[in-house]
């Protein structure tokens, strides 16, 4: 098997504000780490920078590179990854040339309509996307109300443009995500700003939190997703990596909430604050019925101050699509609970015990977020409707959220009692 290796430049190690890319690739190598373990850690980190699913297929085909050739794909797509990294061949490191390609609203509308025949990520004969995920998206620089595809060391995208999925069963997804993201901001979660745009095709505009504008230049901010934090390959982004089938659902070797909370305890800056932010993120996923809150839909800033939770993104009420045959179980369990409408106080109690959180704190935050969702959901829905959101999607999403809030708040008062009864089993 091919081995991967990574080492930090001495010049980077000599800086006072140096930091590691992720917990699994420390600045000072652990003498107890074997060559195989280092290779695995390196490969997992860098392969998580690549897109997934159809986007990966299109990137491989567009660059005439095998999907199995991750190193080659990183070389082809590495100029614009999530976070601060730019992966360039040696010859391109000193290249300061930059270019902008205007994307007009007409261009974008035409390309959205052409997706059944032409991959959305391919523009001017070149693959333009290197951001992980399944959903169609285009990374653009927004400047003076215009959008540009950019290249160059001093330029980078500032926004993602996400059209409606091609699959008609997912109609209204842009409205769904905009509503959930808007509600998250209203109840106090740090969340990537979104706006619904009509070309007339609906497009969700998402501001990137891993970019900062400095005059006419764009600063890249280093952030990593949950799989990179845990040192896992992309195939392990779900807690049940082999699915929910009868014979494999007991295998829970993938990313999980207890593992994420433990990693924050060990590696986070102001760990108690970061763990509280993660707890509120977890509860909100349950309240909105987001069954696809996997480890790659959660990101962290990694800096000289260590790990801190990045703003939320990809918040979607997935339960509204359950009748269309889509997944209706959580990506990461609450205790042993994967089924949203069947979560009990015992599931929440086991979650609290496994994650090292006081059960009373879990109960308090459920009640607080639940009440805030009940208070703000009507006004958020009204604003999204006024912005041209799909009325039927808004109604369905609101219905799911209202039912989820009622269920979870009903279970909350019994969490502490359940924890006392569950504790002997958890310890044993």
Catalytic residues: 292
Phi, psi of 123 (to 5 degrees): -130, 135
Look up residue 111 and give its DSSP letter: H
Strand, helix or coil at 42? helix
The Cα–Cα gap between 375 and 241 comes to 37
Joined together, the tokens standing for residue 58 give 């299109």
Strand partners, 161: 138, 205
Contact 184, 312 (CB under 8 A): yes
Look up residue 214 and give its DSSP letter: E
Distances (CA, A) of 330 to 39, 169, 335, 350: 31, 20, 11, 16
The Cα–Cα gap between 244 and 247 comes to 8
Strand, helix or coil at 130? coil
**Dihedral over alpha carbons 315, 316, 319, 324 (to 10 degrees):** -150
Joined together, the tokens standing for residue 16 give 């006072």
Exposed, middle or buried by CB within 10 Å (0-12, 13-18, 19+), for 159?
A: buried
CA 31 to chain centre: 32
Look up residue 66 and give its DSSP letter: -
328-362 per-residue burial string, b: 16 or more CB within 10 A, e: under 16: bbbbbbbbebbebeebbbbbbbbbbbbbebebeeb
Reported as type and span, the H/E element at residue 75 is: helix 70-77
Contact 300, 310 (CB under 8 A): yes
- What is the pairing mode between strands 202-207 and 299-303? unpaired
Joined together, the tokens standing for residue 267 give 């590696």
């Amino acid at each position: 098997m091919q081995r991967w290796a990574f080492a930090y430049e001495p010049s980077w190690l000599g800086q006072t504000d140096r930091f590691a890319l992720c917990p699994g690739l420390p600045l000072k190598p652990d003498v107890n780490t074997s060559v195989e373990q280092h290779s695995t850690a390196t490969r997992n980190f860098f392969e998580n920078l690549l897109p997934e699913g159809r986007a990966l297929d299109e990137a491989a085909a567009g660059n005439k590179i095998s999907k199995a050739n991750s190193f080659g794909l990183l070389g082809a797509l590495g100029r614009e990854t999530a976070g601060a990294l730019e992966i360039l061949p040696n010859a391109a490191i000193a290249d300061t040339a930059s270019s902008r390609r205007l994307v007009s609203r007409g261009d974008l509308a035409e390309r959205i309509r052409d997706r059944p025949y032409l991959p959305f990520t391919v523009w001017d004969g070149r693959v333009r996307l290197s951001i992980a995920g399944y959903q169609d998206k285009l990374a653009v620089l927004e400047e003076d109300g215009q959008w540009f595809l950019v290249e160059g060391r001093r330029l980078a995208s500032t926004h993602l443009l996400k059209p409606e999925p091609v699959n008609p069963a997912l109609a209204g997804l842009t409205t769904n995500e905009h509503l959930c993201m808007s509600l998250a901001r209203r109840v106090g979660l740090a969340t990537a700003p979104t706006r619904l745009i009509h070309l007339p095709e609906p497009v969700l505009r998402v501001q990137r939190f891993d970019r900062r504008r400095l005059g006419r230049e764009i600063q890249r901010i280093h952030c990593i997703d949950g799989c990179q934090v845990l040192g896992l390959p992309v195939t392990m982004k779900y807690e049940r990596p082999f699915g929910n089938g009868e014979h494999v659902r007991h295998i829970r070797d993938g990313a999980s909430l207890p593992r994420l909370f433990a990693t924050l305890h060990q590696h986070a800056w102001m760990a108690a604050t970061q763990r509280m932010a993660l707890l509120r993120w977890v509860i909100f996923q349950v309240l909105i019925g987001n069954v696809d809150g996997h480890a790659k839909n959660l990101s962290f800033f990694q800096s000289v101050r260590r790990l801190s939770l990045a703003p939320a993104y990809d918040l979607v009420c997935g339960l509204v699509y359950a009748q269309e045959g889509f997944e209706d179980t959580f990506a990461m369990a609450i205790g042993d609970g994967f089924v949203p409408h069947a979560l009990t106080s015992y599931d929440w109690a086991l979650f609290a015990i496994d994650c090292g959180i006081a059960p009373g704190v879990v109960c308090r935050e459920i009640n607080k977020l639940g009440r805030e969702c009940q208070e703000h959901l009507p006004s958020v829905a009204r604003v999204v409707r006024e912005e041209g959101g799909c009325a039927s999607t808004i109604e369905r999403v609101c219905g799911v959220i209202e039912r989820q809030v009622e269920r979870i708040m009903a279970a909350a008062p019994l969490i502490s009692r359940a924890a006392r009864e569950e504790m002997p089993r958890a310890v044993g």
